[in-house]
């Protein structure tokens, strides 16, 4: 259970964005029913690479992410940072962790 000092610290850290985390201080958050990023999703998400697909750049089999915009499979920032580089180059901001 949060103490008053940790709640105060949370409010200070959130600042103006506290309306984005409605109910966060109690551990409950309200689910969003829409997202601005949905329009950037690939039109064919029925045919996505399997969870065991290696990174498209370095063939690393672990810690991979699937870009939901273009369906590239790339490794995490904790491996060779290929998904991070992909985001920086393309601004694709919706991904699924394998």
Hey, how many other C-beta atoms are within 10 angstroms of the C-beta on 25?
14
Among 41-45, 51-55, 77-81, 83-87, the least confident range: 41-45
What is the per-residue pLDDT across 7-32, written as a single tens digit (0 to 9) for each?
A: 444 444 545 554 555 666 666 667 77
74 pLDDT more than 70: yes
Q: What pLDDT, on the 0 to 100 scale, is given for residue 7?
A: 44
Domain 35-98's class? alpha beta
Long-range contacts of 73-76 (CB under 8 A, 24+ apart): 73/49, 73/98
pLDDT, mean over the chain? 79
Pull the structure tokens for residue 89.
């180059």
Q: Where along the chain do its domains lie?
A: 1-31, 35-98
Q: What pLDDT, on the 0 to 100 scale, is given for residue 89?
A: 97
The answer to whether the pTM exceeds 0.85 is no
């Amino acid at each position: 259970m949060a103490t008053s000092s940790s709640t105060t610290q949370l409010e200070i850290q959130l600042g103006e964005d506290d309306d984005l985390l409605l109910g966060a201080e109690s551990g409950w958050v309200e689910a969003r029913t829409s997202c601005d990023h949905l329009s950037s999703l690939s039109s064919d998400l029925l045919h996505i690479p399997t969870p065991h697909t290696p990174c498209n750049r370095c063939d690393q089999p672990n810690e991979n992410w699937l870009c939901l915009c273009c369906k590239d499979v790339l490794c995490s920032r904790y491996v060779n940072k290929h998904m991070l580089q992909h985001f920086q180059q393309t601004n694709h901001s919706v991904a699924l962790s394998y």
